[in-house]
Structure 1
Amino acid sequence: MTALLKTLTVPSGDAVRTLLPTLHRLLDGSSPPLLPVPAGDTRETRRLTDALRPGEPIDESIGLVVATSGTTGVPKGAQLTPAALRASGEATHARLGGTGAWLLALPAHHIAGMQVLLRSVLSGTEPAVVDVSRGFDPGLLPDAVAAMSGPRRYTSLVPAQLIKALDHPGARAALAEFDAILLGGAATPASVLRRALDAGLKVVRTYGMSETCGGCVYDGVALPGVRVRVGEDSRVWLGGSVLASGYRGLPDHPAFADSGWFRTDDAGVLDDGVLRVLGRLDEAISTGGLTVVPQVVEAVLTEHPSVREVAVIGLPDERLGQRVTAIVVAADGAIPTLESLREHAAAALDPTAAPRELHVVEALPVRGPGKVDRRALVARFS
């Protein structure tokens, strides 16, 4: 049977708590299917509604249609059932040690932020909220965390937020109060993870996407009810109780062609049940006939003392096909040089992976819930 997909306007700041009764009905299956859109952002709302068509029929078993952040500019809508969303929340609490109070510091129309609200409903708690409608201000964390009740407290962040918080003494101390900080949306540089652990933060690295109700692999280990496999081409596949019921309006999409599995665009290695994600297959750089995975190079370059953040992209090159290019946010007081970065990368990787071009920027562009917008960087520096 079918129902009509309805728009769920998601406010920012404290007003987001008004959604909790609706989300309670969603989880118990008594709500119509909903498409979250951001209040006050008419451009993004139009982009989502044009692609995902609220007001038109949809299978009544669907609870949420959550837009992927996408790399093409055209969002796909992951169709998530109440059962899948419940399975995700319950598996998260089982892995973390029980239900608790949650702090929302992410846009709630994306899956990571929406899951903070849904986990709050499952916990029977009301979330604390840090307003990120004008960007993330780590100075707001101390008061927000101090107002939270126990016995367990959790939050979800993206790496860019954690980097800002680590540089703010009050925010760093506030984050140390959490029983777990779920960190996802993008790869976490090893240097940032070390800083967080040295500061006493209980960071849990998560891997997942809208198509799996958000993070479903924690610190490399699948949550209860989640299945992981890696194909011969190193592609990561995910399945289990958290899996979406396909994409809105795309019943034959190849990502869901293998029944019960979702084909990701990520390369990975599965070693004794522990998944290590190497990077996106569609972002690999072909240079001089060899393949370079940007995330592998980034992991090395973030260890350089002059680098605060870095993105590695491939730019067109007549001789090589593509040349490896580093886009760097410099560490405080540092002046990165191409020569030093090349030497640093070549000491750990094949010399082919060492950057041949360097650009220093004040900030890296992001899309969705905190992923670096590589397409924007390629367009800017090509």
Structure 2
Amino acid sequence: MHDLKLIAANDAFGALVALTDVLDGKQALFVTAPEVNGKMPETHGLPEQVGDRIALIVESSGSTGRPKRIQISREALIASANSSALALGSFEGTAQWLLALPINYIAGLNVLTRSVLAGTQPVLMNTSVPFTPEAFSRSASFMTGDRRYTSLVPTQLARLAKAVDQDPYLLSQLRKFDAILVGGQAPQDEVVDKLTHLGVNLVITYGMTETCGGCVYNGQPLAGVEVATNAGRIGVKGPMLAEVPTDENGFYWTNDEGVVYSDGRLEIIGRMDRVINSGGIKISLDRVEQLAQQVVGVTGLAATAIDDVEWGQRVGIAFTGSPEVADEVATALADDLGPAGRPIRILRVDKLPLLPNGKNDLLAIKQLFEEN
């Protein structure tokens, strides 16, 4: 057994130092929510010590429910970092990372872990304040590594894509990254296409806390990773799995739906727990979001289920952007998904409720329709 060290999310440098001992097997780490006025937040239910092989206890995002605390072994953490480095060509001593995500989630912790293993000093953004393109550009300008990397969520990427139209210096900084990893949820195709066309190298990742972060890059499983589907449900097998239940063949079965093609490529369809039954027709809310985000004038969007006496469930949409495009959103969904996919309510909001890691807060978004 060894001690579980607690560090606040706004002490990224302290976490970086602690991870050196974590990777040496001397202690384990749990990153709490940020300190407030210099006071650590209260935590409940955490052990004082954990098994020798455990490196991290990490909370999942909890976008669709209560967050889970997941134990990750040192072997899984290192396997995840090594397979990512192999895919990216980020060799020891040359790979420098920019931290732009909160470190109380796995994506942010991975940035620090990969920096320790690469033996390089990361550039640390202040992730306790709202993300801005200006702050990102300024932080990126401090990078000196031969190869440069960062991890973002789609909300951050969309803000950067919007800002480059008026900020050539930001675009020049984005182009200097050998790869920008994008995960957490599916980014807008329009944003990806725009930045890719401008010469920015994006890597769309798939993974979760249970897989120690991204384990599939641009549809291709990383070295040592196997993916499979059973009735559409995605299963993942590999050395980077956290301490999670697996079947007799070693697969962890997720709540995500996808397709594995003959060449091994994985296509993500959406979360299986985000499929509604509308008049006997199954509608994926993830698919609804993908389609609606393509409408020009939409800058942010989230879909939710609304109970309906006649249909059982109907689609509700909250969006940011031009108020004139609401009808276009409804038409686009009806044209592609039929009447069952046409939203019964569309709310324009000033901003979408987000979790600290940048994902849509789906529970808060559902409450918007209960309050309005």
The two structures share one fold, judged by TM-score above 0.5: yes
CA distance in 2, matches of 1:67, 1:337: 36
CA offsets, 1:278-298, max 9 Å, x none?
111111111111110011111
CA distance in 2, matches of 1:362, 1:153: 34
Q: Which residue of 2 aligns with 1:252?
A: none
Given candidates 5, 8, 11, the residue that maps to 1:10 is 8
Residue 223 of structure 1 and its aligned partner are, at CA, apart by 0.7
Q: Which residue of 2 aligns with 1:33?
A: 28
Q: Which residue of 2 aligns with 1:21?
A: 17
Go from structure 1 to structure 2 and tell me whether the alpha carbon gap of 1:123 and 1:22 turns closer, same or farther (over 3 Å shift): same
Q: Which residue of 1 aligns with 2:99?
A: 104
Within a 5 Å distance, the mapping from 1:285-296 to structure 2 comes to 285-296=276-287
Residue 150 of structure 1 and its aligned partner are, at CA, apart by 2.5
Go from structure 1 to structure 2 and tell me whether the alpha carbon gap of 1:92 and 1:150 turns closer, same or farther (over 3 Å shift): same
The answer on whether the counterparts of 1:7 and 1:37 sit within 8 Å (CA) in structure 2 is: no
Q: Which residue of 2 aligns with 1:86?
A: 78
Q: Which residue of 2 aligns with 1:244?
A: 242
CA distance in 1, matches of 2:36, 2:237: 33
Percent identical residues: 35
Aligned length: 361
Alpha carbon RMSD of aligned pairs, Å?
2.0
Residue 136 of structure 1 and its aligned partner are, at CA, apart by 0.4
CA distance in 2, matches of 1:11, 1:220: 31
Within a 5 Å distance, the mapping from 1:132-151 to structure 2 comes to 132-151=127-146
Go from structure 1 to structure 2 and tell me whether the alpha carbon gap of 1:134 and 1:258 turns closer, same or farther (over 3 Å shift): farther
CA offsets, 1:206-265, max 9 Å, x none?
010111111111111111111111112x1111111100123xxxxxxxx54556222211
Q: Which residue of 1 aligns with 2:206?
A: 207
Residue 329 of structure 1 and its aligned partner are, at CA, apart by 1.0
CA distance in 2, matches of 1:61, 1:41: 32
1:335 aligned counterpart, secondary structure:
helix
CA offsets, 1:44-92, max 9 Å, x none?
943xx324x132x432211111111124653322111111111111111
CA distance in 1, matches of 2:295, 2:248: 42
The answer on whether the counterparts of 1:116 and 1:156 sit within 8 Å (CA) in structure 2 is: yes
1:155 aligned counterpart, secondary structure:
strand
Within a 5 Å distance, the mapping from 1:38-49 to structure 2 comes to 38-41=33-36, 45-46=41-42, 49=43
Given residue 61 of structure 1, which amino acid in structure 2 is its aligned partner? R
Q: Which runs of 5+ in 2 are unaligned?
A: none
CA offsets, 1:128-157, max 9 Å, x none?
112121210210122221211121000000
Confirm or deny that 1:74 pairs with 2:62.
no
Given residue 148 of structure 1, which amino acid in structure 2 is its aligned partner? M
Residue 37 of structure 1 and its aligned partner are, at CA, apart by 1.2
The answer on whether the counterparts of 1:285 and 1:313 sit within 8 Å (CA) in structure 2 is: no
1:187 aligned counterpart, secondary structure:
coil
The answer on whether the counterparts of 1:367 and 1:373 sit within 8 Å (CA) in structure 2 is: yes
The answer on whether the counterparts of 1:238 and 1:261 sit within 8 Å (CA) in structure 2 is: yes
Go from structure 1 to structure 2 and tell me whether the alpha carbon gap of 1:308 and 1:72 turns closer, same or farther (over 3 Å shift): closer
Q: Which residue of 2 aligns with 1:187?
A: 186
The answer on whether the counterparts of 2:9 and 2:31 sit within 8 Å (CA) in structure 1 is: no
Given residue 317 of structure 2, which amino acid in structure 1 is its aligned partner? A
Q: Which residue of 1 aligns with 2:300?
A: 309
Go from structure 1 to structure 2 and tell me whether the alpha carbon gap of 1:346 and 1:74 turns closer, same or farther (over 3 Å shift): closer
- TM-score of the two chains, using structure 1 as the length reference: 0.89
CA distance in 1, matches of 2:52, 2:203: 34
Go from structure 1 to structure 2 and tell me whether the alpha carbon gap of 1:21 and 1:361 turns closer, same or farther (over 3 Å shift): same
The answer on whether the counterparts of 1:141 and 1:174 sit within 8 Å (CA) in structure 2 is: no
Go from structure 1 to structure 2 and tell me whether the alpha carbon gap of 1:350 and 1:72 turns closer, same or farther (over 3 Å shift): closer
Go from structure 1 to structure 2 and tell me whether the alpha carbon gap of 1:81 and 1:202 turns closer, same or farther (over 3 Å shift): same
Residue 22 of structure 1 and its aligned partner are, at CA, apart by 2.0
Given residue 62 of structure 1, which amino acid in structure 2 is its aligned partner? I
Confirm or deny that 1:116 pairs with 2:115.
no
CA distance in 2, matches of 1:274, 1:297: 23
CA distance in 2, matches of 1:161, 1:209: 18
Confirm or deny that 1:278 pairs with 2:274.
no
- TM-score of the two chains, using structure 2 as the length reference: 0.91
The answer on whether the counterparts of 1:243 and 1:260 sit within 8 Å (CA) in structure 2 is: no
Q: Which runs of 5+ in 1 are unaligned?
A: 247-254
The answer on whether the counterparts of 2:183 and 2:205 sit within 8 Å (CA) in structure 1 is: yes
Q: Which has the larger displacement, 134-143 or 165-174?
A: 165-174
The answer on whether the counterparts of 1:3 and 1:32 sit within 8 Å (CA) in structure 2 is: yes
Residue 300 of structure 1 and its aligned partner are, at CA, apart by 1.2
Given residue 78 of structure 2, which amino acid in structure 1 is its aligned partner? R
CA offsets, 1:295-352, max 9 Å, x none?
1111111111121221111111111111111211114xx52233x2222223333332
Confirm or deny that 1:380 pairs with 2:357.
no
CA distance in 2, matches of 1:176, 1:138: 14
Given residue 362 of structure 2, which amino acid in structure 1 is its aligned partner? R
Given residue 114 of structure 1, which amino acid in structure 2 is its aligned partner? L
Given residue 238 of structure 2, which amino acid in structure 1 is its aligned partner? G
